[in-house]
Amino acid sequence: NSDLILHVNFVLVNMESKQRYIVKDILGHGTFGQVAKCLVSETNSFVAVKIIKNEPAYYQQALVEVSMLHMLNQKFDPDDKHHIVRILDYFVHQRHLCIAFEMLGSNLYELIKMNNYKGLSLNIVQMFSKQILHALIVMKDAGIIHCDLKPENILLSTRVKPPEIKVIDFGSACMEGRTIYSYIQSRYYRSPEVLLGYPYTTAIDMWSFGCIVAELFLGLPLFPGASEYDLLKRMIEILGGQPPDDLLRDAKNTSKFFKHVGSIYRLEDDEAHNGVTSAYRVLTEEEYEARESKRPKIGKRYFNFVKLEDIIANYPYRKNLPEEEIDKENLTRLALVDFLRGLVEFDPGKRWSPLQASHHPFVTGEPFTCPYKPPVETPRIPVIHTVTVDHNPGGGHWL
Ligand code: ATP
Ligand code: MG
Ligand code: MG
């Protein structure tokens, strides 16, 4: 096992600054290591320390996480207003790269679970959507693609009321224009262009964001694909239509899923797709499956309706919804569907940008009267930002 063996009162030390972190609890295990709740005695406060496995691939990837967060925190969000986790420190302890973050609370998947998978009120969904969009706006400006946006990677902040959330886990993030990996994003939140093997941009995070918004409302994932083929089939059923022809023509994996009949692309039949599995960079297939199976197994179709519009409109009302609020609820649901349509849009070129989405009535709370037409966005010449990190931090030595 390449995880550091921890126990209560185990002390992690940054050898350079002499800062000590006293382990008090384990907050989570991930593929990349463990996250511990640690006490900083001087300030009597807690921080979350991600302790990376002592293997070179994980170490290198974690340095990417450090550099991306440094850039986002310092250059793009110095006043901590954009709902992105703060990085506090990083160092090497016994060949394990350790990253200290501000201490946060439950993740949104746990919140959904605590609510018995019944979904959250539209008020809360609206509030969280707005906050996640704040993070996505900054990430797009920085040219950073998160690549693993999902409820598990959005955490509640424990300090403030009304509830605040923060985006975490930049361990899979990459720079736009430097997209080297093709197997990215957790399956339920994977965009059509990644699935099909087409060049991708920050728009893939907007797809995941749409899936998350729907899941917050429904309490269940919108596209719980058991395989990549199953995922694609669900998208096509629920959304109607399919990815645009030029995407299908140019994507690397189209023939894995589609038959080309004359000039028409048709999704292959079920029979051709028993046991399609998907991979994930740095994870082995076993690790990947173990991770995905952390969620409860759900049957093939569990909504009573197929089309997105019907699923949302006919979803049971919350028990405590007052009679007089039903009209407003129905109208907000229409706004939600219109919002989702701009996000879970097959064509990455037509999918709304975070800024465009942030002006939608569902987010702003303005009355929803007609389908939203986003303001035209002038394409910006991408600036590649770079931040250098010390590859041998905290006085430690790696190999
Ligand atoms: P994955 O395998 O899902 O990619 P990971 O190994 O990259 O995960 P993170 O997602 O960064 O690791 O963290 C794993 C878990 O640890 C989170 O889902 C969360 O429950 C907990 N955690 C991470 N950061 C914090 C924090 N700042 N405060 C509190 N808990 C945290
Ligand atoms: Mg994670
Ligand atoms: Mg991760």
Indicate the DSSP class of residue 262.
T
Ligand 1 atom 29, closest CA: 104
141 lines ligand 1 (CB under 6 A): no
CA of 144 to the centre of ligand 2 (A): 17
Least distant ligand from the CA of 50: 1
pLDDT, position 121: 95
Average pLDDT across the chain, whole number: 90
Report helix, strand or coil for 187: helix
For ligand 1, whether the C-beta of 101 sits within 6 Å is yes
The yes-or-no answer on residue 148 being catalytic is yes
DSSP classification of residue 303: S
Helix (H) or strand (E) holding 130: helix 122-142
Ligand 1, atom nearest to 103 Cα: 28
- Counting atoms of ligand 1 from 1, which one is nearest the CA of 85? 27
pLDDT above 80 (res 379): no
Is any atom of ligand 1 closer than 6 Å to the C-beta of 31?
yes
Query: What band does 295 get if pLDDT is binned at 50, 70 and 90?
Result: low
Name the nearest CA neighbour of 81 among 160, 170, 192, 145: 160
What local confidence, expressed as pLDDT, does residue 159 receive? 76
Whether residue 130 is predicted with pLDDT greater than 90 in this model: the reply is yes
Dihedral of alpha carbons 324, 327, 330, 335, sign = negative
What residue owns the CA closest to ligand 1's atom 1?
A: 30
User: What confidence category does residue 289 fall into, taking pLDDT thresholds of 50, 70 and 90?
Assistant: low
Q: Residue 158's pLDDT is what? A: 81
Which has the higher per-residue pLDDT, 151 or 118? 151
Q: Look up the pTM and report it.
A: 0.91
The two tokens of residue 15 are: 């050898």
* Cβ neighbour number for residue 267 with a 10 Å cutoff: 17
Whether pLDDT at 354 is above 90? yes
Peptide bond into 162 cis (omega under 30): yes
User: What's the average model confidence in pLDDT over 161-188?
Assistant: 93
Residues placed in the known binding site for ATP: 50
Q: Which pLDDT score, from 0 to 100, does residue 384 have?
A: 67
Task: Catalogue the E-assigned strands of 171-299.
Answer: 174-175, 258-261, 264-267
pLDDT digits (tens, 9 = 90+) for 256-279: 999 998 889 999 988 777 654 433
Q: What dihedral angle (degrees, nearest 10) is formed by the CA atoms of 115, 116, 118, 120?
A: 10
Tokens of 304: 């009573």
Residue 149 in contact with residue 205, Cβ under 8 Å?
Answer: yes
Which are the contacts of 63, defined by CB distance < 8 A and separation ≥ 6? 97, 389, 391
φ, ψ dihedrals at 45, nearest 5°: -125, 165
Share of the chain above pLDDT 70, in %: 88
Average pLDDT of the residues in 8-27: 97
Backbone angles phi, psi at 179, to 5 degrees: -90, 105
Q: How far is the CA of 2 from the centre of ligand 3 (A)?
A: 17
State the distance from the centre of ligand 1 to the C-alpha of 356, rounded, in angstroms: 29
Kindly report the number of other CB atoms within 10 A of residue 248's CB atom: 21
ipTM of this complex: 0.97
Handedness of CA 292, 297, 301, 302 (dihedral sign): negative
Does any ligand 1 atom lie closer than 6 A to the CB of residue 241?
no
The answer on pLDDT for 46 being more than 50 is yes
Of ligand 1's listed atoms, the one at least distance from the Cα of 291 is 2
Structure-model confidence comparison of residues 261 and 344, the more confident one: 344
Instruction: Provide the pLDDT confidence category of residue 293 given band limits of 50, 70 and 90.
Output: low
Pair of tokens at residue 35: 């996250």
Distance 227 CA to ligand 2 centre (A): 20
pLDDT tens for each residue of 305-316 = 889 999 999 998
Q: Is the CB of 65 under 6 A from ligand 1?
A: no
Of the pLDDT bands very low, low, confident and very high (cuts 50, 70, 90), residue 282 is very low
Per-residue DSSP letter, 296: P
* CA 62 – CA 56 distance, rounded (Å): 10
Q: Quick check: 335 pLDDT over 70?
A: yes
Catalytic residue among 77, 89, 141, 148: 148
The pLDDT of residue 383 is 65
**Residue 14 pLDDT exceeds 70:** yes
Position 382 scores a pLDDT of 62
E-only strand ranges, the chain: 11-13, 20-30, 33-40, 45-52, 87-93, 96-102, 144-145, 154-156, 165-167, 174-175, 258-261, 264-267
Question: What residue's CA is closest to ligand 1, atom 6?
Answer: 30
Question: Can you give the pLDDT at residue 389?
Answer: 73
